[in-house]
Structure 1
Amino acid sequence: MMCDDAGLLLHAYLDDELDAASSAAVARHLHDCSACKARYETYAIMQKALSEPALYRRAPDALRAQWTTPVAPAAASKVTPITVRRRTPVAFAAAAGFAAAVLLSVPAWLHWLPSRGADNAIVAQAIAGHLRSLQGEHLLDVVSTDQHTVKPWFEGKLDFSPRVKDLAPEGFPLVGGRLDALDGHSVAALIYKRRLHVINLFQWPAENGSATQVATQEHGYTVIRWTGDGMHYVVISDVNEGDLKQFVLAFQNEANPLMAR
């Protein structure tokens, strides 16, 4: 199966609408093609995001009353039939354009969700950065499983040297890195994997000392923040909280001066 063929079937595969043979063919292609697999993961995230209960609002009581108030017989007799107009292609195009705009700007849906205060602004930014990284080719600027390739790539691009470690023995292989922005800072983003899940680890210099880790659950993602070794760290993924805490522990255990070599 070619990428173009798989691309046409990804939504149907996600909704479990394919027959057994087609589903198996798409599954094999996703196993062999990282680009299509990343696109599929993005679709899955969008499907999950758009099903969030917080996106939906209860109709105002005044409007609900209009729906439920019975029409008086006299008024009912005067009701003039309304001619149903067919939707024009322009209307369909407008609706499709709006849907496409939402899908192409994944982090935009975060602005529709209720805010939980300024203290969690960095959590919202981390989620937006994570979702943005899963779109198209935004995930990686440097592709490598070798920490001695990823770490030097940041030289000259940031005014600090990020801590880079391959945690493959612990089940979290390094796959690369990229430049990003968080909390008004230029940050290093290291990309790890946990099976098919992507883990984004953001880091930038800290002016203060160390701070214990804080875990936050937002919209199906776990965000863990801590400060240590002169750096701020924010890690985010849709893996379960236990796996992400295991990742943090593995990274902290390896965060030592030897890593700066």
Structure 2
Amino acid sequence: MSGRDFTERDIHMALDGELPGEDRAGYEAWLAANPDMQARRTRYAGDAEALRSAFAGVLDEPVPARLTRAALGEKPVVVERRRPRWWLAAAAALLLAVGGAGGYVAASLGGGSHDDSAQDQLAEEAIAAHVVYAAEKRHAVEVPASDLDHMETWLSNRIGMKLVAPNLSDDGFQLVGGRLLPAGGHRAAMLLYEDAEGNRISLFVTTEPAAHGKGIYAQSGEGPRAVYWLDKGYGCAVVGSLPDNRLSEVAKRAYEQLIAGMIS
């Protein structure tokens, strides 16, 4: 039996099948001696199963023809109609989001070619996740900022790209932590930040090999907005309820650091 100390990190490793076999007995004994950690493991496992069940149909869908064509080097076909919104309501309901998530409009920042379907999907998924988790006080993230190295490594491995959490302290925001989320047929990393007044913003990052574009995606009336980019094989959205100019400034600095982290 392993004599080492266990932490919440080991819960994630066990659920992901990454806990070394020689640590399993010690881990189970640790859970038995710590009912709060046992309850947390049960909740995390239940959340993961609920998400897998809810998105099973999406994950089993065939690869879209536009992505197949892009992989073969063919020029993407631009479809004029916008992506249906039904899935956003389903995702929000699954994650216990509050109502009022409809009525989005996109405003281009200019530049780049556009794939409205990919842009809408990225922005809507990022906003839906922010609505759900930014309001949480105790369980907003799966891995806290205090375990930064593990969080970056874990999320990088899960989403299939190098992720370095931007430092937004110059903008008054401190990293709270991160979590893993489903994103269409991919996985996404969500990083949550908070300022001294309790305002929260989130970064939603996923792979998006075929799409390019950037813009602001705003909810009609009150609600969070997303500043997004799709480029260099990934998609990033910064979501919050800050004024548009401040949100755009923070998003630009986050974007620059994400790119620098990818190539470092």
TM-score by length of 1: 0.50
User: Does 2:177 align with 1:176?
Assistant: yes
Deviation at 1:199, TM superposition (A): 1.0
Paired with 1:138 and 1:252, the residues of 2 have a C-alpha distance of: 26
Paired with 1:139 and 1:206, the residues of 2 have a C-alpha distance of: 25
CA 1:153–1:110 in 2, change beyond 3 Å: closer, same or farther? same
Deviation at 1:155, TM superposition (A): 5.0
Unaligned runs of 5+ in 1: 1-101
Deviation at 1:192, TM superposition (A): 1.4
Contact 1:147-1:165 within 8 A present in 2 as well: no
Task: Give per-residue Cα distances to partners, 1:203-258, cap 9 Å, x unaligned.
Answer: 112313753x2012204211111123432101211122122111111113323445
User: Does 2:195 align with 1:205?
Assistant: no
Deviation at 1:105, TM superposition (A): 6.2
Contact 1:142-1:153 within 8 A present in 2 as well: no
> Where in structure 2 are the equivalents of 1:64-143 lying within 5 Å?
106-107=96-97, 109-110=99-100, 113=102, 119=117, 120-133=120-133, 134-135=135-136, 137-143=138-144
**3-state SS in 2 of match to 1:162:** coil
**3-state SS in 2 of match to 1:203:** strand
Contact 2:156-2:163 within 8 A present in 1 as well: no
Task: Give per-residue Cα distances to partners, 1:61-101, cap 9 Å, x unaligned.
Answer: xxxxxxxxxxxxxxxxxxxxxxxxxxxxxxxxxxxxxxxxx
Paired with 2:244 and 2:186, the residues of 1 have a C-alpha distance of: 26
Partner of residue 44, structure 1: none
**3-state SS in 1 of match to 2:256:** helix
Task: Give per-residue Cα distances to partners, 1:22-50, cap 9 Å, x unaligned.
Answer: xxxxxxxxxxxxxxxxxxxxxxxxxxxxx
Deviation at 1:145, TM superposition (A): 5.4
Contact 1:225-1:234 within 8 A present in 2 as well: yes
Deviation at 1:178, TM superposition (A): 0.5
Q: Percent sequence identity over matched residues?
A: 20
Paired with 1:155 and 1:146, the residues of 2 have a C-alpha distance of: 14
CA 1:253–1:104 in 2, change beyond 3 Å: closer, same or farther? closer
Structure 2: which amino acid aligns with 1:204? T
Partner of residue 88, structure 2: none
Partner of residue 224, structure 2: 221
**3-state SS in 2 of match to 1:157:** helix
Contact 2:159-2:186 within 8 A present in 1 as well: no
Paired with 2:263 and 2:127, the residues of 1 have a C-alpha distance of: 28
Unaligned runs of 5+ in 2: 1-91, 107-115
Paired with 1:122 and 1:129, the residues of 2 have a C-alpha distance of: 11
Contact 2:164-2:262 within 8 A present in 1 as well: yes
RMSD: 3.3
Deviation at 1:146, TM superposition (A): 6.9
Highest Rg: 1 or 2?
Answer: 1
**3-state SS in 1 of match to 2:230:** strand
Paired with 2:175 and 2:209, the residues of 1 have a C-alpha distance of: 27
Deviation at 1:191, TM superposition (A): 1.1
CA 1:249–1:145 in 2, change beyond 3 Å: closer, same or farther? farther
Structure 2: which amino acid aligns with 1:197? N
Structure 1: which amino acid aligns with 2:245? G
**3-state SS in 1 of match to 2:173:** coil
TM-score by length of 2: 0.50
